[in-house]
Amino acid sequence: MLHIVTSSPFSSQSLQTCLRYSSHEDEIILMQDAVFAALAETPYANALAQRSGQVYVYAPDIQARGVEKKLVSGFPQIDNNAFVALTVQHTQQINWQ
């Protein structure tokens, strides 16, 4: 299953809820303000790094927010083509807002 999180973890519980209900095989994409969850030295980045499932960060949203150099390493950045490929690959998806 693919989980798409779009809200900042600093203003919403959507990431925490996603982590609670996702399985270790599920993949997560952080988009829009959810990219702030991948900032270094946050409890959210640590929680995401401990997952066995893949976590992706949407590159256009990272660039739009100017946080390219503040992200934890280990979360692949994806572009539009990779985003589309992931949505095609996963027939089941949940959008967490």
Residue range 62-87, pLDDT digits in tens: 999 999 999 988 899 999 999 999 99
Residues 6+ apart with CB under 8 A from 97: 6, 7, 12, 14
Task: Report how many domains make up the chain.
Answer: 1
Alpha-carbon gap, residue 3 to 69, rounded angstroms: 25
In the prediction, which pLDDT does 96 show? 97
**Euclidean distance between CA atoms 63 and 50, whole angstroms:** 25
Its domain, for residue 11, covers: 2-96
Query: The domain that contains 40 carries what CATH number?
Result: 3.40.1260.10
pLDDT in the model for residue 51: 87
Sheet holding 77-78, edge to edge: 77-78, 55-58, 27-30, 2-5, 93-96
Which pLDDT score is estimated for 73?
87
Residue numbers in the chain where pLDDT is lower than 50: none
